[in-house]
Amino acid sequence: MSTSTPPWSEPAHGVFRLNVAEVNCYLVVRPEGMTLVDAGLPRTWGPLQELLRHLGARVGDIDALLLTHAHFDHVGMARRLHDQHRVPVKVHPRDGRLARHPYRYRHEAARPPYLVRYPQALPVLANMVRNGALNVKGVDADGSFVHGKPLDAPGAPVPLWTPGHTDGHCGLLFDELGVLFSGDAIVTLDPYTGETGPHVVANAATADSRTALSSLDALAETEAGVMLPGHGEPWTGGVRAAVAAARAGGAR
């Protein structure tokens, strides 16, 4: 009798990663409740339900959805969670408008040249489209993130404002767990180039690459041992090492 691999993993104790089309979101389970970090793509819904069944929970048991930023591939399930299940959605105020309109954002470079320069990214982007990347609905999010101030959500995550990828991008530090969710401030797979290892996201999707690189100081200061990015595999070599590698790679 064969068994299928579950569509989730547990990169840190009580932290569950959902990876659909190389887009990550994470369910953090604490004694006081559950926090979802980012909302992936629309078709992450099925894997999320499967994970919740494994945990003996329901969608309505999620206490908060926290968006590291509001690009379409991090907002995928947000409207459904908010409207159908009354899950509060929170974001930095400077990404509030983007949460409502997740396709309307600035980026430094045109995208078509990347498809020629980095053909290895084509399967990644195509898979994102197959999983609903072109059909994301915006959401009215509570713009209550304040840099350095713990949020009223299970795990007491601390937003770390790291603008550059978007104006309101934030990392989320769960200090008690020693885990930093880096969103797209640092990724270990860049969907626009196909490159792996710690990088800032390509200029095809980053508003201001110079600001994005300078913002990494806020992440390095945490000294978290585990970094969980918005795209790519978990990084367990310490955030300082990831920041050093991303800076060495620079903008692309």
What does each C-alpha distance from 169 to 37, 52, 204 come to in angstroms?
Answer: 13, 27, 16
pLDDT for 133-178, tens place per residue?
999 999 999 999 999 999 999 999 999 999 999 999 999 999 999 9
Instruction: At 155, list the tokens.
Output: 């795990």
Query: Which parts of the chain fold into alpha helices (H)?
Result: 45-54, 72-75, 78-85, 96-100, 112-117, 122-130, 209-214, 216-220, 239-249
- Residue 2 pLDDT: 43
5 contact partners, CB below 8 Å, separation of at least 6: none
Instruction: At 108, list the tokens.
Output: 């430094």
Measured torsion, CA atoms of residues 159, 160, 161, 164, in degrees rounded to the nearest 10: -120
**How many Å apart are CA 130 and CA 136, to the nearest integer?**
12
Return averaged pLDDT per consecutive 10 residues of the chain, 252 residues in all: 74 97 98 98 98 97 98 98 98 98 96 93 96 98 97 98 98 97 98 97 97 97 96 97 96 92
Note the pTM of the prediction, 2 decimals: 0.96
What does each C-alpha distance from 42 to 28, 38, 133, 138, 203 come to in angstroms?
Answer: 19, 12, 7, 12, 25
- Residue 92 pLDDT: 98
